[in-house]
Amino acid sequence: MNNKLVKEILDWVYAIALALVIAMVIHIFLVQPTRVSGESMEDTLHNGQYLVVTKWQHIMRDIPDYGQIVIIDSRVNRARTWMDDVKEPLMNYVSVFNKDAQTNDIWVKRVIGRSGDTLEFKNGHVWRNGQELQEPYTKDTYMNFSRSTPVVVPEGYVFVMGDNRNHSSDSRFIGPVPIDHVLGFVEYAI
């Protein structure tokens, strides 16, 4: 091989590597596209729908507002590390080509409770701090779930639920979600 061809190949390798690094930084710290998998957020979001998720709130540990749709790491009983933030965007891309690489740990849910809130589940509805929530976004008007004791959301946590209450795994089953497990805020659904 002559030097000109080697230089051309190295220039291409450098450009591709730089583009990948820039893309990773954007996806870890700024914005990440992802897809809905499942029916837990119907009728708001649907299986296969694309989402644009902003990530800086995760980096800043921002507390989402009531009603905000968020992406969470459902493994609430394990500590998250910075390696999780690097690995998850990579696996998101790999899963496009290899369905076996897709994990079921990252969920899309709606924030129902914040630190200090007392939540009750009675009469087919959610009550926050003694007030029944008006939730026009839920799929069913009646939730087939009740609980005899209230849930108090601990400091540094949020309580999340799917809009399809009768077909959603959420904080009712895994418990409140630590703020560092809130991976991003859904900004757009396409």
Confidence of residue 35 (pLDDT cuts 50, 70, 90): confident
**What is the per-residue pLDDT for 103?**
67
Q: Cα(89)–Cα(32) distance, rounded to whole angstroms?
A: 8
Tens of pLDDT, residue by residue over 8-34, are 999 999 999 999 889 888 888 888 888
Is 32 in contact with 188 (CB distance < 8 Å)?
no
Interacting residues of 51 by C-beta distance below 8 A, sequence separation 6+: 33, 34, 35, 36, 45, 71, 108, 186, 188, 189, 190
Q: For the chain, what is the domain count?
A: 1
**What is the per-residue pLDDT for 78?**
92
Question: Which residue range(s) make up the domain with 30?
Answer: 3-189
**What is the per-residue pLDDT for 95?**
64
**What is the per-residue pLDDT for 153?**
98
**What is the per-residue pLDDT for 56?**
87
Cα atoms in the Cβ-side hemisphere of radius 13 Å centred on 61: 7
Confidence of residue 98 (pLDDT cuts 50, 70, 90): low
The CATH number of the domain holding residue 70 is 2.10.109.10
Residue among 175, 168, 171, 178 at smallest CA distance from 44:
168
Interacting residues of 63 by C-beta distance below 8 A, sequence separation 6+: 114, 115, 158, 179
Q: Measured on CA atoms in the order 86, 21, 30, 161, is the torsion positive or negative?
A: negative
Tens of pLDDT, residue by residue over 131-181, are 999 999 999 999 999 999 999 999 999 999 999 999 999 999 999 999 999
Q: Please report, for residues 41, 97, 115, the alpha-carbon distance to residue 185 in angstroms, rounded to integers and kept in the order given.
A: 15, 25, 18
